[in-house]
Amino acid sequence: MSLLTFAQWVQSTPLFTAIRESWYVYPAIMSSHLAGISLFGGMVFIVDLRLLGLAMRKRPIADVVNQLRRLKWVGFAIVATCGILMLGSKAEEYYYNAFFRAKMAVLALILVHALLFRRSVYAKAAEFDRSGTVPGLAKLAASLSLVLWTCMVICGRGIGYIEPPLDKLHARVIEHLHQRAQSADRIVYLDTRTN
Amino acid sequence: MLIQNAVADTLNNTEWAFPLAECIHIGGFAVGVGSIALVDLRLLNLGLRQETAARILRYTEPWTVIAMIFVAFSGFMLFLSQVGIYAINPIFPWKMYVLAAALIYNFTVHRRVATMKDAPPVLSKFVAAISLLLWVSVVFGGIFTGFLE
């Protein structure tokens, strides 16, 4: 099974079909995705700025980092769930979308960032407080995090700017045939009535 | 008329200008609303429990205000680029009403309660819930504005 046929199968499942066919569910999920970004993005921003010494300077780094850790995961879970629902409902369109692919690449980099710096930076916040200095590595991690999340927003917005290749879309073809069949039925029905 | 203006010319005729303004708008409200949400989560007793809400407000408010300036400026640019479309959009005016309510609420009731000493927990939680509801509604309004062209 190729990735494309997998995408077609995913979006044809009842849940994702229902999301796609409702006029308000998709925008509602997208709104939740963005509302989640605003909750979660603010936390990432504050933690990174604290490491860079630009915000909440009088508070211990460990306090800021540790107290927001769980909330950041909750926020990420909300954003990711909404993202998966949007992806699943239009999987075939996303398959052709270059910005979506770029966004997934950035997401992969964010995971690498988390794996790389979790132990060396985020787990050592209390040490930075004791020594009174933030090492260059921690500032690098914070700066990279800000850059990566900004790229996520840019790629996310970019997705909406790429028109799906309508001639290639499987779902559209089926929809079109369905509509044609329906209008053909109506004509037959009208004919029998007039007779 | 307003429909034809210098901003509209630039945003509609430069390929990257409109998306750039949108990205600034989104990045800005992520920071602006996110920093307000940090205060709300404290009021709801869900996050940053070792700080007082008043302290969090003091630390985050400059970022809230800076971010809001970016959001308002980029939003106004987006508006100017397609005044005609926004003028007939059924959702857009509601987004503006809720935004006005959210802004007034944020700098009056919300700030008063967040900086109050010994505010009753019920009041704090209620005020925080209303704040989150207002800001989330503004985000929903923005997306639905785009979907109901």
Asked whether the beta carbons of residue A34 and residue B144 sit closer than 8 angstroms, the reply is no
User: Chain B partners of A49 at a C-beta cutoff of 8 Å?
Assistant: 63
Beta carbon pairs, A and B, within 8 Å: 99
Residue partners of A2: CB distance under 8 A and separation at least 6: none
pLDDT band of B148, cuts 50, 70, 90: confident
Answer yes or no: is pLDDT of B70 > 90.
yes
Asked whether the beta carbons of residue B19 and residue A158 sit closer than 8 angstroms, the reply is yes
Closest approach of B139 to chain A, Cα-based (Å): 6
Asked whether the beta carbons of residue A39 and residue B33 sit closer than 8 angstroms, the reply is yes
Question: In chain B, what is the straight-line distance between the N-terminal and C-terminal CA atoms, in Å?
Answer: 21
Answer yes or no: is pLDDT of B75 > 60.
yes
Answer yes or no: is pLDDT of B65 > 80.
yes
Q: What are the extents of the domains in chain A?
A: 3-164, 165-195
Asked whether the beta carbons of residue A46 and residue B38 sit closer than 8 angstroms, the reply is yes
Give the span between the Cα atoms of B26 and A41, in whole angstroms: 10
**pLDDT value at position A27?**
92
Virtual torsion, Cα A56, B121, A32, B26, nearest 10 deg: -30
- Indicate the average pLDDT of chain B: 90
Closest approach of A67 to chain B, Cα-based (Å): 5
Residue B56 included in any domain: yes
Q: What is the average pLDDT across B30-49?
A: 91
Give the span between the Cα atoms of A183 and B81, in whole angstroms: 40
**pLDDT value at position B123?**
94
**pLDDT value at position A23?**
87
User: Chain A partners of B139 at a C-beta cutoff of 8 Å?
Assistant: 31, 34-35, 38
Mean pLDDT for each 10-residue chunk of chain A (195 residues)? 88 92 92 91 90 87 88 92 95 93 96 92 89 91 95 92 79 66 59 46
Q: Which residue from A103, A115, A92, A111 is spatially nearest to A167, judged by alpha carbons?
A: A92
Q: Which residue from A85, A30, A104 is spatially nearest to A112, judged by alpha carbons?
A: A104
Q: What is the average pLDDT across B62-85?
A: 92
Residue partners of B139: CB distance under 8 A and separation at least 6: A31, A34, A35, A38, B29, B33
User: Chain A partners of B41 at a C-beta cutoff of 8 Å?
Assistant: 71
Closest approach of A195 to chain B, Cα-based (Å): 42
> Looking up tokens 């003091």, which residue turns up?
B58
**pLDDT value at position B5?**
78
User: At B48, phi and psi to the nearest 5?
Assistant: 50, 45
Q: Determine the residue type at A152.
A: M
Percentage of chain B surpassing pLDDT 70? 97
Asked whether the beta carbons of residue A71 and residue B22 sit closer than 8 angstroms, the reply is no
Domain containing B57 equals 6-147
Residue partners of A183: CB distance under 8 A and separation at least 6: none
Residue B127 included in any domain: yes
Is residue A82 within 8 Å of residue A26, measured between CB atoms?
no
Residue partners of A194: CB distance under 8 A and separation at least 6: none
Q: What is the DSSP string of A23-84?
A: TTHHHHHHHHHHHHHHHHHHHHHHHHHHHTTSSSTTS-HHHHHHHHHHHHHHHHHHHHHHHH
Q: Which residue from B57, B62, B86, B81 is spatially nearest to B148, judged by alpha carbons?
A: B86
Closest in A27, A68, A161 to B47, CB measured: A68
Please give the tally of structural domains in chain B.
Answer: 1
User: At A35, phi and psi to the nearest 5?
Assistant: -65, -40
Please report the ipTM that was assigned to this predicted complex. 0.76
Residue partners of B133: CB distance under 8 A and separation at least 6: none
Give the span between the Cα atoms of A52 and A135, in whole angstroms: 10
Residue B1 included in any domain: no
Q: Which residue from B35, B134, B27, B19 is spatially nearest to B77, judged by alpha carbons?
A: B19
Asked whether the beta carbons of residue A40 and residue B139 sit closer than 8 angstroms, the reply is no
pLDDT band of B99, cuts 50, 70, 90: very high
Residue B63 included in any domain: yes
Residue partners of A159: CB distance under 8 A and separation at least 6: A94, A97, A99, A100, A103
Write down the pTM of the prediction.
0.80
Closest approach of B144 to chain A, Cα-based (Å): 6
Chain B residue with minimum CA distance to A69: B47
Give the span between the Cα atoms of B91 and A70, in whole angstroms: 35
Closest approach of B130 to chain A, Cα-based (Å): 15
